[in-house]
Structure 1
Amino acid sequence: MKQEPKREGEQARSHPQDAGTLLHALVRIALPCVLGGGHALAVAQTPVTLEEVRVSASALPVTAAAASQHVTVLTRADLDALGQLSVAEALARQAGIVVDRSPRSGGYGSLYLRGADPSHVVVLVDHVRQNDPLSSRGSAVDLNTLSTGDVERIEIVRGNVSVVHAEALAGLIHIFTRRAAGTGYAGVAVGGDGLRAAQAGFAGAQLRGSISHREDGDKAGGFNRTQSANAAWEQPLDGGGSVTVSARVADSLNRAFPDDSGGAEFAVLRQLDSRRATSGQLSARAAINTAASGRVELQATTLSRDGDEVTSGVAPGVRDPFGLPAMTTQTDYRRHEVQALWLPPTNSDLQVTLGIQHQRETGKLASNIDFGFFALPADFELSRSVTSLMAEARYQWGSWTLQGGLRHERPDAGDAATHPMLSVQHALGDALGHWGVSVSRATKLPSFYALAHPLVGNPLLRTERATHRELYYASPQRSAWPSRVTLFSARYKDLIDFDAGPPPQLVNRARINADGVEWRTGHTWDNGWRLRLDGTVMRVRDPEGITELRHRPHAQWSAQLNVPWGPRRDFTVLAKHVGRRLDSSIPTGDQQLAAVNTVDISARMPVGAAIATLAVDNLANSRSAETIGTPTPSRRLRLALNWSLP
């Protein structure tokens, strides 16, 4: 009976050469094979500054470069250069992010950002929050249910964003679906390990739509399939405002060896888990500008998700002498949310926003646990409403910028909480860049699963708490080597943890400290060659020294070189290092997963009316493990074709 409860407490208790020479050599070897080379269409995954795009780090208008948080924006061109990688694979190529299971394994793709628990990262699709409190992983999101085929851009915000997005204790991933105006597009991709993908869409002045399909894996050792359809209508208003209505439906199917089973290498029971999820969302957004009253932004969203999971269980082993029983689970989750923001007219030095948000969510879980000689039902139903007030202000005083924010949440059951944030930024001059410091506090309500599960739930659970501090320096964007270095420190308290009992129960007791430094830099030469370097070094620990946490490598880094080679042609080399990290499984107990170094190459060129991307993942066929018994994906060849239609 420990399988699902174990996941809820995973944060705390489930155990938990010269790069330049290498890149230069790879380019010399591979360039003659690129059929004429390529011109730099875009640099895949490069952190970019889009001055015209407001990012999701604040309720106030802010660009990626001006935000106090470390923000990375992946554009559509970046995603095209990846040649139909999944969302999980695209994010895993970013320093500071670990995704423990790839789509090819069929497993649940949990994202660890700055060492935080996956449930402390909010994932949005077109402003609609995807986190599900019925999940036994504490409302984390399975990234393997998302595809890049219908994505316009992805924003990655590192650090606390809970003033404007509830539960974003450690960060935010915001995915925007395709919306390029005045054109249509289509694309297909094939590759090793069963990769098959296709997408198509159209976009006009007011109406747009898209569909996508992606599958990966061999169905015997792990399989993933995702499908989605999106539609949106947008009407501009006088004064620069607009009204937008968007809808999305998505379906995913995953087959994989059960969590903690030891995977294909160690699992005793060889039947794969099956997970199916179907979701639908609808949102309406309006922005109204008036000279007298400023700007009003209104939003109403609804999300529904139905899930069906079947697991054959896990045989007894070193870590658990009883193993895990077979289980079937069905979930039904609904969330309705309304929000209003007011940005009153102010002078050029002051910006203010005031907002109110109301959320109503309901969830049902029906589970049947099969012990062989009898079956035990474990069902519950829960609902919750939360009303929040928020305020943010930014004041510019010469070269100094002061920003503060408050979010006050009042649930219909449980204690109210206030999330404060304060940041100070100082511009040192056009040639010297700027620096900033920030501090924030946040809380997260317990998931429905933790509160109400009839076997291990605990209705007396308190909210999880976090305090974040950051100090950064960023060089000028126009410098030869634009760079950013961030020191971060996070303190998590009252994290929900599994106590084996007897009786087994979820409790508040875990404390986690996460401290580290992350960096990014890059350079563009006169010949168009572009280099990007980024990485993270961090220490994530239990201050009491009782446990070591899963999937928290001490160091990660990546180096990417983009080489133009003629009109609309380019060649890219990406080298990445992920350090040693702990994992645990029932048949083996705790084990350290070896560090892994991978090199991916890709080339793009026009082929008729299409742009072709030919890529080789894990060129050197480096071997390690995603989780115990589940090897990292081996070398794979991929080919993608993308058309822009008139």
Structure 2
Amino acid sequence: MRRLLLLSFTALSLPALAQGVNPGTPPVTEPSAAIAETVVTATRVPTPIERVPGAVTVIDRQTIEERGYQTLAEALVTVPGFALIQSGGLGQPASAFIRGTASRHALVLLDGVPINDASEPNGAFNFGNDLLGMDVERIEVLRGPASSLYGSGAIGGVVNIVTRRAPRDRAIAPFGEVAGGSNRTLRANGGITGTVGEFDYLLSLRSLSTRGTDATPSRFTSDTGERDGFRSAGATVRLGWTPSARFRLEGLANWRENHGGLDNVPNDDPNYSFEDRRYTGQIRAEGKPFEAWTTGFRIAQTVDRRKYRNLADGFDPSTTDDLYRGERTVFDWGNQIRLPDAGFLDQSQVSFGVTHEREDVRQASGSTFFRTTTDADASSTAGHMGYQVRLFRRLDLSAGIRNDAAEDYGTHTSWRLGALLAVPEISARIRTAYGTAFKAPSLYQRYGRITGFFEGNPNLRPEISEGWEAGIEFDLPLGAQRDFATLGATYFDNRIRDLINYDAFFTSLENIDRARIKGAEFTATLRPARWLTASLAYTITDARDARTDERLARRPEQQLALNASFRPVENVTIAPELIVFGRSREGAFASYRNDGSAYTVARDNKAGTIFNLTATWQVTEPVAVFVEGRNLTDSDFEPANGFVIPGRTVLVGTRFRF
């Protein structure tokens, strides 16, 4: 494994060194033509992506539509270092393992506000529940430890879903989309946005219904072909008031409700269903007391309500009625101060603030005789500070520190240092970062109980990580084209300790596990012609239990994503996508033979390949017609043993934007 990482990294880095000095290279103050994004997630301060000393991926609205992504899970599976494992089709549970960390180590934000369900036993986010309606403008993904910015949960990385902003020059700007196809799937979303004087607004609705597919593999002798249907509806409302260039007040409300069927392993279960509702709202005020100082205050709340029901039948004689209710309330005060330039120092900014967060969980799950309950709440308050500066107009440095003080697990301090060096002589950017992160024990882990059998452990400590990364990205010119190709390579190394797991008797939980993770991410974007762009993302991950040296479950050792955007004629775009999953480990009693019996020792999940294709015809400037094909080779790949991906599907639709 070490040899493979070294050879791959060396091979990709050599072309940058071979370029030598390029007299035609622009000055360092001019960004590369291949990189023009500005991101907020990586630093809390709007920063050009080429100056961020960390691994960041941005999936914008154009990419979402061009590649036919209709769910958050579909979009994220192509991100380097992002292994997303879904147990079936639309609406089925999906877990993310960012750079080999656990699924509970991915923090998800909606416009900067955490939306991980507080009632989820481990605090993990279900990536299978969210649609990418036209109210979603972009998705920013920061990989690596980020607790110095966002606190608990950001060990593997952060996903920030950014909603659409109103155009400043339009009073009314409607948009919409409708599509239908395989499995009686119907998808519709649309809305209206605009700016009238000092006020701006956004109203968006979205829905999807499908009879679904069978998540049980046909190789199981117990497979009945029963489909897992799915229905989803949601809405987003934003109202903003900007009376002057120095003040803005806005409110955002988001609602999402899903209904669907689930399967048990290894049997179909027609009576197993779920309801999942989430309400998120925030009010934010931002002002500039002075030209160099921006300050803002935000109040936000997220409420999750989930129900899972499974009535007694011929497949399972027991009855399950699971209820989960979680609330998270956030008060956040943040500041940015732009410092004056001084000689070789410029672009200096200081950020600081205070965040107070409260979680409340009411949960009851399991059968009547084996009922798990949690009834608890907890608060924490954190102070954070960051600094970033550019030296000699080519070296960006950043530092951040945060201290979280909780009422029930003590205090924890996390930090991060980063550096990025622009080397225009070879059109390269070299970056490195080192930092710590933590995941607080969930309320279930601390206070959950099964009467007479299990008691949570209120003395649990946070899970703690320490990691570093180093990478290089460079542009290869060809003739007059400066950005013919952009290549990148990043090596990462992470150590996690105090991982929470069951004690030897399964009667409580303890901080007993450790993990060590290393790997590499390789990216390439080719632009051989104006009508053709191709990209590659390849990840190697070696994630192991530090005590036993066993590979951690459900982390593919290798993962490859190939995408292209091909325009054979004017106004027509064809976007093929190939995703290859390498083998991954599955835990004991989680791998199943064809007869449904479980293996008692850990085994490997087989590798798998998925091919998707989307074609879009821009009929007129505001109206487009598209075709989305998923899994066109009809692969029966099982990302998680016992759960197969949906077979071949095709959707046809139209969208407009005025």
Q: TM-score range by the shorter chain?
A: 0.7 to 0.9
Q: Is structure 2 residue 505 aligned with structure 1 residue 514?
A: no
- Deviation (angstroms), 1:252: 1.3
Match of 1:34 in 2: none
Identical counterparts, % of pairs? 21
User: Pick from 96, 118, 123: which aligns with 1:139?
Assistant: 123
Maintained 8 Å contact 2:54/2:432: no
- Deviation (angstroms), 1:325: 6.4
Say if 1:286 and 1:121 are closer, same or farther in 2 by CA, change over 3 A.
same
Maintained 8 Å contact 2:207/2:232: yes
Q: Give the letter aligned to residue 99 of structure 1.
A: L
Match of 2:636 in 1: 623
Q: List per-residue Cα deviations over 1:331-372 (Å, max 9, x = no partner).
A: 2211111111122241132211111111112111123524xx
Q: List per-residue Cα deviations over 1:527-581 (Å, max 9, x = no partner).
A: 4211111110110111222643221111111222211123321112212211011
Matched position secondary structure for 2:57 = strand
User: Pick from 66, 69, 72: which aligns with 1:87?
Assistant: 72
Q: Equivalents in 2 of 1:591, 1:251: separation in Å?
A: 36
Say if 1:537 and 1:227 are closer, same or farther in 2 by CA, change over 3 A.
same
Maintained 8 Å contact 1:84/1:640: no
Q: Equivalents in 1 of 2:486, 2:284: separation in Å?
A: 36
Matched position secondary structure for 1:416 = strand
User: Pick from 526, 546, 552: which aligns with 1:543?
Assistant: 546
Q: Is structure 2 residue 218 aligned with structure 1 residue 243?
A: no
Q: Is structure 2 residue 192 aligned with structure 1 residue 202?
A: yes
Q: List per-residue Cα deviations over 1:597-623 (Å, max 9, x = no partner).
A: 222222111347631111322222233
Q: Where do residues 559-598 of structure 1 align in structure 2 (5 Å cutoff)? A: 559-583=562-586, 584-585=590-591, 587-589=597-599, 590-598=602-610
Q: Equivalents in 1 of 2:655, 2:361: separation in Å?
A: 40
Match of 2:495 in 1: 491
Match of 2:360 in 1: 362
Higher relative contact order (Cα pairs below 8 Å, separated by 6+ residues)? 1
Q: Where do residues 150-549 of structure 1 align in structure 2 (5 Å cutoff)? A: 150-166=135-151, 167-181=153-167, 182=170, 183-205=173-195, 206-216=200-210, 217-218=212-213, 220-239=226-245, 241-258=247-264, 261-262=265-266, 267=267, 270-291=269-290, 294-311=293-310, 326-348=319-341, 349=346, 350-370=348-368, 375-398=369-392, 399-429=394-424, 431-455=426-450, 456=454, 457-476=456-475, 478-499=482-503, 501-545=504-548, 547-549=550-552
Q: Give the letter aligned to residue 424 of structure 2.
A: G
Q: Equivalents in 2 of 1:376, 1:592: separation in Å?
A: 32
Q: Equivalents in 2 of 1:428, 1:48: separation in Å?
A: 15
Q: Is structure 2 residue 617 aligned with structure 1 residue 605?
A: yes
Match of 1:21 in 2: none
Q: Equivalents in 2 of 1:241, 1:100: separation in Å?
A: 43
Maintained 8 Å contact 2:375/2:448: no
Match of 2:25 in 1: none
Maintained 8 Å contact 2:262/2:269: no
Maintained 8 Å contact 1:105/1:221: no
The Cα RMSD (Å) is: 2.5
Say if 1:83 and 1:428 are closer, same or farther in 2 by CA, change over 3 A.
closer
Maintained 8 Å contact 2:148/2:436: no
Q: Equivalents in 2 of 1:313, 1:107: separation in Å?
A: 22
- Deviation (angstroms), 1:272: 4.7
Q: Equivalents in 1 of 2:389, 2:80: separation in Å?
A: 32
Say if 1:503 and 1:94 are closer, same or farther in 2 by CA, change over 3 A.
closer
Q: Equivalents in 2 of 1:245, 1:214: separation in Å?
A: 26
- Deviation (angstroms), 1:588: 1.9
Matched position secondary structure for 2:639 = strand
- Deviation (angstroms), 1:446: 0.3
Maintained 8 Å contact 1:591/1:628: no
Q: Equivalents in 2 of 1:143, 1:314: separation in Å?
A: 30
Match of 1:118 in 2: 103
Matched position secondary structure for 2:331 = strand
Structure 1 gaps, min length 5? 1-46, 317-322
Match of 1:5 in 2: none
Q: Equivalents in 1 of 2:311, 2:584: separation in Å?
A: 28
- Deviation (angstroms), 1:631: 1.7
Say if 1:272 and 1:504 are closer, same or farther in 2 by CA, change over 3 A.
farther
Q: List per-residue Cα deviations over 1:259-280 (Å, max 9, x = no partner).
A: xx23xxxx2x634532212121
Say if 1:380 and 1:113 are closer, same or farther in 2 by CA, change over 3 A.
same
Say if 1:239 and 1:368 are closer, same or farther in 2 by CA, change over 3 A.
same
TM-score normalised by length of structure 1: 0.85
Matched position secondary structure for 1:627 = coil
Maintained 8 Å contact 1:237/1:288: no
Match of 1:633 in 2: 646
Say if 1:59 and 1:471 are closer, same or farther in 2 by CA, change over 3 A.
same
Say if 1:80 and 1:255 are closer, same or farther in 2 by CA, change over 3 A.
same
Say if 1:538 and 1:325 are closer, same or farther in 2 by CA, change over 3 A.
farther
- Deviation (angstroms), 1:127: 2.2
Q: Equivalents in 1 of 2:522, 2:606: separation in Å?
A: 24
- Deviation (angstroms), 1:510: 1.2
Structure 2 gaps, min length 5? 1-32, 215-225, 477-481
Matched position secondary structure for 2:89 = helix
Q: Equivalents in 1 of 2:552, 2:543: separation in Å?
A: 8
- Deviation (angstroms), 1:378: 3.3
- Deviation (angstroms), 1:110: 1.1
* Stretch deviating more after TM superposition (79-88 or 205-214): 79-88
Q: Equivalents in 1 of 2:202, 2:257: separation in Å?
A: 20
* Stretch deviating more after TM superposition (572-581 or 375-384): 375-384
Say if 1:357 and 1:377 are closer, same or farther in 2 by CA, change over 3 A.
same
Maintained 8 Å contact 2:41/2:112: no
Q: Equivalents in 2 of 1:98, 1:313: separation in Å?
A: 35
Q: Equivalents in 2 of 1:135, 1:562: separation in Å?
A: 38
Say if 1:400 and 1:177 are closer, same or farther in 2 by CA, change over 3 A.
closer
Say if 1:103 and 1:625 are closer, same or farther in 2 by CA, change over 3 A.
closer
TM-score normalised by length of structure 2: 0.83
* Stretch deviating more after TM superposition (155-164 or 83-92): 83-92
Maintained 8 Å contact 1:104/1:193: no
Maintained 8 Å contact 2:39/2:140: no
Maintained 8 Å contact 1:430/1:476: no
- Deviation (angstroms), 1:298: 1.8
Number of residue equivalences: 579
Q: Equivalents in 1 of 2:81, 2:349: separation in Å?
A: 31
Q: Equivalents in 2 of 1:545, 1:295: separation in Å?
A: 50
Q: Give the letter aligned to residue 139 of structure 1.
A: G
Q: List per-residue Cα deviations over 1:439-467 (Å, max 9, x = no partner).
A: 10111110111111113322221110011
Say if 1:227 and 1:280 are closer, same or farther in 2 by CA, change over 3 A.
same
Say if 1:503 and 1:552 are closer, same or farther in 2 by CA, change over 3 A.
closer
Q: Give the letter aligned to residue 328 of structure 1.
A: D
Q: Equivalents in 2 of 1:164, 1:314: separation in Å?
A: 49
